[in-house]
Amino acid sequence: MRYTLRKSQRLSSKKAIKELFAGADTHVATSYPLRAIYRKTEGAGIRILVSVSKRHFKHAVDRNRCKRQIREAYRLNQHMLSVVPTLSLDIAIIWTSPELQPSHLVSRKLIILLEKILCQIQEAPTTSLPEP
């Protein structure tokens, strides 16, 4: 398996981002300093968006460092989500801490976050229409 993060794996469509944050079918998982908002989609694969607030870090270099840490941790651990072969998700990963964190901590917290997402997806009841 190649450890890459391609353009097709990034959530960039304004419509999809709007649906992710405004949708009623979204779910949340938290592992401080990270929070994930995600929703199941139709056949687009797994796409991520990384966000670090300007409120927490005034300097762009600090925001970019946090985003780089998150993307690198996701890139190395994205295979965890391939356990479910037909899984199709949009995920927004948001930095919630006002302090910079070491990369090994961010990586460990992202692994916990991905495990929580998998648990919540596998526990979610599948809705099916009743037979007439």
- What is the pLDDT of the chain when averaged over all its residues? 90
Whole-number pLDDT of residue 1: 58
pLDDT on residue 129: 46
| pLDDT tier, 111 (very low <50, low <70, confident <90, very high otherwise) | very high
| DSSP secondary structure letters along 48-113 | EEEEE-TTT-SSHHHHHHHHHHHHHHHHHHGGGGGGSTT--EEEEEEE--SS---HHHHHHHHHHH
- Domains of the chain, start order: 7-121 (3.30.230.10)
Question: Packing angle between helix 103-123 and helix 60-77, nearest 10 degrees?
Answer: 50
